[in-house]
Amino acid sequence: SIASADMDLNQLEAFLTAQTKKQGGITSDQAAVIAKFWKNHRTHIHESLINQSRWDNVLKNMNWRVDLMSQLRHIDQINTPVAIVEMELGKNGQ
């Protein structure tokens, strides 16, 4: 629950307090250990969850440009910007 919600320190404290008051919950010593672990490893845990939830394909490269049309059949379309985006996908880890 802590990791999936990416709890900040205030949320963590409220969550652990609720867990200590719950019937069959954790002790205050266990809550202190969990809080210390989360404070020290929050970033690593969050990055790990993101990596596990990614699809196989990742964005390898992206190029873009904006073109203005200078010659068209209809005068109202001249100087209309057109965005061109090129994205290169690849397998994760390759």
d(CA 15, CA 7): 9
pTM for the whole structure: 0.55
What is the reported pLDDT for 93? 63
Q: How large is the average pLDDT for residues 75-82? A: 73
Please say if the pLDDT value at position 55 is more than 90.
no
DSSP-based three-state secondary structure for 8 = coil
Inter-CA distances, 84 with 60, 67, 76, Å: 17, 8, 20
Percent of the chain with pLDDT over 90: 47
In the numeric block, the tokens 């266990």 are attached to 30
